[in-house]
Each structure stands twice: as C-alpha cells, then as structure tokens.
Amino acid sequence: MTPDLGISGSDSTQFAVTDTIRPAPGSPLHLALWCAAQGWPVHPLAPRRKTPAANCQACRGQAHSYRDCPCIELGRWCHGFYAATCDPNVISAWWGRRPDFGVGVSCGPAGLIVIDVDAHQAALPGPGRLLPGIHIPETVSLRGLRHGFHSLAVLAALRGAPDPAQDASTLRVRTPSGGMHIWYAAEPGQAWRCSAGSSPSRALAWQVDVRAHGGYIIAPGTTTDAGTYTALGTVRRPAQLPGWLAVELARTGHLPAPPAQRTATPMPRRAHEAVVAAGGGHDAAARTMDTVLAAVIGCATMSQGAGFSDKLNRAAYTAGGLVGAGHLTADEAESALLGAAAQARPGQERRALQIIQSGMTAGRRQPLTLGDRT
C-alpha cells in the first residue's frame, strides 16, 4: 500500500464510488482514481518499478504500433501510456486484477508538462552542454555545479526568474533518488515535446528532463523498490507553466514540428485571458494585444512577403509599452508573442525571441497610454 498522498478529505471523494469501486485510502487504486478525477489519464506501472506494465502475450510476440492494436479498445493496458484512461470502471478493473500496480500519468492528454530534475552523480559537461543555446565563456568557472538542481537554478537566475524547484505554488514531488518532479499545466491546446537533459539535440538544461507529449510521469504516492515518490508541501495540483519557462522550452526545441499546412488562428485563449486579467485598462489592453498578435499570426498563410519580422517587432514594441505602463507582465507579453510567432513561423523560435526581446526593450521605454495608436 502506498503512503498517504496528502489528499484532503474533500479531494479524496471527487471520483465516482460504486459497488465495484471501493478503494482503500492510500492504495494504488485510490491514487489512480484521484488522478483520473483531476483529468489525468493513468496507466499501470509494473509492480514496484518505474516502467509500464508488460503487454499481453499477443502484443509481446509481434511488432506492431499501438495504432494497429485492438487491445486498447478492448480495455487492456498494452502499449503503456497510450492505453492511459480516466474511465473509473477500466481503472477499477485494472487495479482490481493487480492491486500492486504502480500509477503512471500520461502527460500529453493530461495537459501536463513536468520538469524532471535529476541529482545523479555525473561528470560536469562542457560549457556548451550545461545550458544548451546559452554561451558560457571558457573563462567562467563551473566548479561547484553538481546536478540538475544547480543547472536549473542558474538558468532561472540568468532570466531573472524564481527557481522552479522552489515554486511552492505548484505540485512538486521528491523522487527516491533525490531528484524532483515539478508539475505544470500547459496552455490549453499547446503540445510540448519531451527531452532528456543529456540529449545533444534537444534539452532544457543539464540533468533536467522534460516530460510532456509522448511521455509519462510517475504519480506521487507511488512506491518502487527505490522508494516512494513523495509530494512536497500542501499543493496537490499543477500551476500554469510560467511564461519565462515557456519561452525557454520554445527556444530549446520543445515545440512540436510544424504542421504540413498552416492557417491563421486567433490569439491563444490563455494569452488573451492573461492580458484581460492583468493591470488597469483590462479590455483595452486585451484588444490592443489581439490586434497586434493577429497581424503576426496572419503571416501563417504566407510563406514569404508577409512582413513577419516587422509585424512581430511592432507587436513586441506595443507589448513592451503595455508592460511599461503596468497593463500586463513581461512574462505574459513574451509568452503571448512567442506563441503567436510559433504559429506563424514554426521552427524559427530563436530568431523570433531575439526580435521579441529587442522590440519589448524599446517599447518599455515608451509606456503605452491606452488610446494611443499602436
């Protein structure tokens, strides 16, 4: 039996209880149902291990994609996180058969992006691999940096942002190896890609993995042979992904590959809500951002000759003026701009980020009084 996750009495009854679902408090079934009630699809993990439960004999004996396999439709747990579900009856059947199963959460369908900080003993990489894409001169001593907590803290400090490992506003889970899982909620409809901190192609920071679409995370309260995944503090749900982290994830290649065809789309709902909820002049600030972001997103329908750079620079300058006047925060503005740029020109996030930062810096020197021309 897994130890108590720390779910309050009211939270623990948020899933359907029927004659066939009577989970013992603290049991893996109780945990799986609680996760499903949060909208997080779950799948079984092999008992006391971090890996998904084994496929059925038929799936083990033949090589095939989960897309071609009937097992998932038939309610079997084959193919790991692809079989994840929120259906309490299926979950009850799975853990009813194997109450010793651990609990995995499929990050993509759950709308989660989890920063997985490792604390392994490993040789420090060269300056180019500590924070991918950020130049660290050879003359800078990295002595004293030992693991992912250090590299993530350095990245946050460079961006003038709080260290995510200290973010008490979101669900944080201590792993048996001494690492940490920092759970965040992604923007609705925004898919992020997984990565490993040791990857030479896509990584946020050394010894910092990213669990998102195409990956899963171990639910807090799950016990393996190495120990228990323990939730820290009192927060049991993920906060919204911070804007500065979204910018860094985009910069380091965590956005999905561009679609075959692109069409213009409206300003992302979450970005619009963030602008409306920000400082004074709510509606006017939102309308202003809608206008300039729509011009950027509209470039998606044209591969050339759309004036993308100029429109993005103008939008960034306007956003900088709104930030300077206190109508929204720099993180909110930068995140919205980068999201619009990614829709218009996928794969050009690094170039877009340079334009955004330059335009916002200039705009902040001229605070925008709402009603001014943009």
235-271 pLDDT, tens per residue?
Answer: 999 999 999 999 999 999 998 865 444 443 444 454 5
Strands, DSSP E only, in the chain?
Answer: 42-45, 102-106, 112-117, 172-174, 180-185, 208-211, 216-218, 223-224, 227-228, 230-231, 239-240
Residues 308-312: what's their mean pLDDT?
Answer: 85
Question: Worst-scoring range by mean pLDDT, 103-112, 194-203, 245-254?
Answer: 194-203
Cβ atoms 50, 122 nearer than 8 A: no
Q: Tell me what pLDDT residue 295 has.
A: 84
Q: CA torsion sign, 164 to 165 to 167 to 170?
A: positive
Domains located in the chain, CATH noted: 11-109 (no CATH), 111-251 (3.30.2250), 269-364 (no CATH)
Give pTM, 2 decimals: 0.69
Q: Which of 59-68, 109-118, 126-135, 317-326 has the highest mean pLDDT?
A: 109-118
Does residue 143 sit in helix, strand or coil?
coil
- Residue 155: pLDDT band (50, 70, 90) is very high
- Residue 173: pLDDT band (50, 70, 90) is very high
**Higher local confidence (pLDDT), 163 or 10:** 163
Residues 37-51: what's their mean pLDDT?
Answer: 97
Tell me: pLDDT of 273 over 90: no
Tell me: pLDDT of 374 over 60: no
Average pLDDT of the chain?
A: 83
d(CA 113, CA 109): 10
Name the region of 200 (left: φ>0; alpha: ψ -120 to 50; beta: rest).
Answer: alpha
Question: Worst-scoring range by mean pLDDT, 7-11, 44-48, 56-60, 330-334?
Answer: 7-11
Question: Worst-scoring range by mean pLDDT, 53-62, 155-164, 261-270?
Answer: 261-270
Long-range Cβ pairs for the range 47-54 (8 Å, 24+): 47/98, 47/100, 47/101, 47/102, 48/100, 48/102, 48/223, 48/224, 48/225, 49/102, 49/224, 49/225, 50/102, 50/218, 50/224, 52/77, 52/80, 52/81, 52/104, 52/216, 53/77, 53/80, 53/98, 53/101
CA dihedral 245, 264, 214, 90 (to 10 degrees): 110
Tell me: pLDDT of 224 over 70: yes
- Residue 49: pLDDT band (50, 70, 90) is very high
Tell me: pLDDT of 208 over 90: yes
